[in-house]
Structure 1
Amino acid sequence: MNVRRRQATIRVHASFHLPGAERPLPEGEYHVVHNEVRCVSDAGAEWRRIASTVYLPAIGMRGPSSRTADISASDLDAALDQDRH
């Protein structure tokens, strides 16, 4: 099984909530690492996201400590979709 890690910076324009978070997270840019697995089928090969980790606090913001939070692909996509509307 082939696994890769992809890094990205996401920009969120409004505060948002992650499952398990005590309170909403502020707008800003967040560093995210996606773990993906390569899936091969008769139709071809594709990379499928199996896990994502967001680094807190947002880039350039100060907080009492830095930490990471695991987030499902669907929860991350929902937060980004909500931010776009």
Structure 2
Amino acid sequence: MTSRTRQDVVHFATDFTLWGIDMPQPAGTYRVDYDEESIDGASWIAWRNVGTFLHLPAIVAGSATKQMMPVDLADLQSALKKDQQQ
């Protein structure tokens, strides 16, 4: 089984909360890593998510402390959708 890490950037226009992160996070642009494993078929390759990690703090925040927090992909997608609707 092959694995990969895909990176993306997400933007929140307002403060947000995610399950597993103790404090609300400020609006901003955040890096996200998606760990994926291949699902091999006879004539195709697909990928499934096995881990999602949010980099804290936001990209523009000037902080010496950086951390990657595991988050639930569905929770992250829900928070992004909620943010876009506001």
Q: What is the TM-score of this pair, normalised by structure 2?
A: 0.85
Amino acid at match of 2:62: R
Q: Aligned equivalents of 2:55 and 2:48: distance in 1?
A: 21
Cα distance in 1 between the residues matched to 2:78 and 2:63: 25
> Match for residue 24 of structure 2?
24
User: Given that residues 20 and 71 in structure 2 are in contact (C-alpha distance below 8 angstroms), is that contact kept between their aligned partners in structure 1?
Assistant: no
Aligned to 2:62: 62
For residues 52 and 5 of structure 1, the distance between their equivalents in structure 2, rounded to whole angstroms, comes to: 9
Letter in 2 for 1:56: L
Contact 1:50 1:73 in 2 (8 A): no
Instruction: In structure 1, give the amino acid aligned to 2:16.
Output: F
Q: Percent identity?
A: 28
- Matched letter for residue 17 of structure 1: T
Report what 1:80 is aligned to: 80
Q: Which amino acid aligns with 1:21?
A: I
CA deviation after TM superposition for structure 1 residue 65, in Å: 2.0
Unaligned runs of 5+ in 1: none
Q: Is the 8 A contact 1:39 1:45 kept in 2?
A: yes
Deviation, 1:38, is 1.1
Query: Which whole-Å CA distance do the structure 2 matches of 1:37 and 1:48 have between them?
Result: 6
Aligned residues: 85
TM-score (norm 1): 0.86
